[in-house]
Amino acid sequence: MLQRTRRLPLALLLAALFVSGAPLAQESHAGEDEGVSHQDQGKQGHGEESEEKHNEEEGAVHLTEAQQSLLDISVSPASSGRANESIKAPVEIMFVPDLVAKVGPLLEAKVSKVLVDLGDRISTGDTLATLDSVMLAKVRARMQSLIAKKTAAEAEYKRERSLQKQGISSEEEFLAAKARFLTMAAELNAAREELKAYGVSSSQSDASGLASYALKSPINGVLEKRDVVIGQTLSASDTPFLVVNNQKVWAMIKVAESDIDQLTLGNDVRIELPSGKLRVYSGKVSWISTQLDETSRTVLVRTEVDTPEGYLRPGMFGTALISSPSDAALPLVPRDAVQTVESRDVVFVPGAERGEYQATPVKIGAEANGWIEIQEGIRSGQSVVAKGAFDLMSALTAKNRSASHGH
C-alpha cells in the first residue's frame, strides 16, 4: 500500500462540497424508509442486484460541472512495459519535415488575391492565392503560337507527303516540310515542359488571362504562415505560405552515453509533457543516431508520435521513458495515479457518465522513474486518471464520510 502526504486545502474544499450535497443522500434514504414495504415485497428478486449497485456507487465519484472546474484532472491510457527497465531522458518536439511545405511561386509574380488565412485547414491542391506573372503570360502566348504553327506545319507535311507519293512533289520539298513540322513539335513540347516547371499544366485553361497563376498547396495540413499582401511582387525564391500537417510529430530524445547499450529500434517510448494538464503520448524508437554529442555526451533518438488533436508543437519540452520490449510487460501508470482508499490501492477510471470516476482496486508492483506497475486491476491501454487522482480520492473520502454520518 502506498503512503501519500499531500496538500489539504483543496481536499477540505471538496469535503465541504460533498457534505453540502449530503441532504440529497439523506433524502434518498428517507424515500427508502417510506417505501420499505415495497422493498420487502421485492427483496428476494432484487437484493443481490441492489447490493452490487450499492458497492459500485460507494467507489464512484460523481462531479458536477462546478466541481470539475475546481480540479485539474487528466485522463490518458495506461502504458505497457516495466517501470525498472526504462531510460529517462529529456525530449523536444519538432514537426516531421516531410509533412511541412513552404509554398511560393516558381517564377516572378504579383499577388492579386489571397484565399486563405492562418489556422485554415488546407487540402492537397487547394488554391492559397492567385498571382499574375508577365513571364507566365509570355510562355503561354508563345505556346499558343507554337500550337498554331505546328498545326500548319503538320498540314503542309501531310500534303507534301501525298504529292511526293504521286510524283508531283520532289523529295527535297517533302523533307523540308517534314523538318518544319518536327521543329514546331519540338518547340511546342519545350514550351509545355517550361510551364510544367512553373507548376502550371499545359492543358490548363484560365479564364482570368494568360498571366493568371494559381498557387496551390502540395499537402494536407494547417496554414501556419501567411506572409503576403495583395499587390506584393514575389520572386521564385519567396515562400510566403507555410502548410503543416501536425497530426504526426517527431519527438527527439537526448539519451545519455551510459544508456546507449539499452537502445534498440522498436523500443517502447512514453512521453510526458508537464505544461498545463499532464499529457502522455506513446510511440516507438524509429531511429538512433550514430553520432555522439561531444558536449552533452548524449545520443539523439527519434520516435514518431500521433497527435490527432494537434496539441504537440515544435519547441515543446518534456520527459521520455524508453522501455525495452518485454514478454512480461505490465500496465504502467504515473505514480500519482495510484491512491489509497480504505487501506486499498486504487486507480480511478472514467465512468459511463460525464464527471463520473470509478475507484478501481489494483495490485501494484515495482515503482521506478515516476511510474508504477499494475499487476492486477486494469489492462494496458485502458483509460485512467493520470493527474488529479489525489483530489478524486479526497472527494470520494468526503462522500463516504457524509454517507456514513447519514446512517
55 within some domain: no
Of 14-23, 73-82, 97-106, give the range with the top mean pLDDT. Answer: 97-106
Q: The domain spanning residue 235 has which CATH number?
A: 2.40.50.100
pLDDT tens for 241-270 read 999 998 999 999 999 998 888 888 988 888
39 within some domain: no
* More confident of the two residues 270 and 405: 270
Same domain, 297 and 339: no
Same domain, 3 and 78: yes
Cα-flanking dihedrals φ and ψ of residue 216, to 5°?
A: -115, 155
52 within some domain: no
53 within some domain: no
pLDDT at 53: 46
Same domain, 233 and 300: no
Q: Which of 323, 341, 357 is the last residue of a domain?
A: 323
Q: CA-to-CA distance for 320 and 69, rounded, in angstroms?
A: 29
Same domain, 366 and 396: yes
Same domain, 253 and 221: no
Same domain, 276 and 317: yes
Same domain, 91 and 103: no
**Residues facing residue 358 across a β-bridge:** 60, 349
Q: CA-to-CA distance for 405 and 23, rounded, in angstroms?
A: 11
Same domain, 222 and 111: yes
Number of domains the chain is built from: 4
Decide if 384 contacts 333 (C-beta within 8 A): yes
Same domain, 261 and 129: no
Name, in order, each residue with C-beta under 8 angstroms of 33's C-beta and a sequence gap of 6 or more: none
pLDDT tens for 319-374 read 998 876 665 778 989 999 999 998 899 999 999 888 899 999 999 988 877 889 99
| pTM for this model (two decimals) | 0.59
The range of the structural domain enclosing residue 356 comes to 1-17+62-82+327-407
**Residues facing residue 253 across a β-bridge:** 91, 301
Farthest CA pair distance, the chain: 122
Nearest to 279 by CA among 239, 250, 319: 319
Average pLDDT, the chain: 83
**360-to-48, 331, 343 alpha-carbon distances in Å:** 20, 14, 13
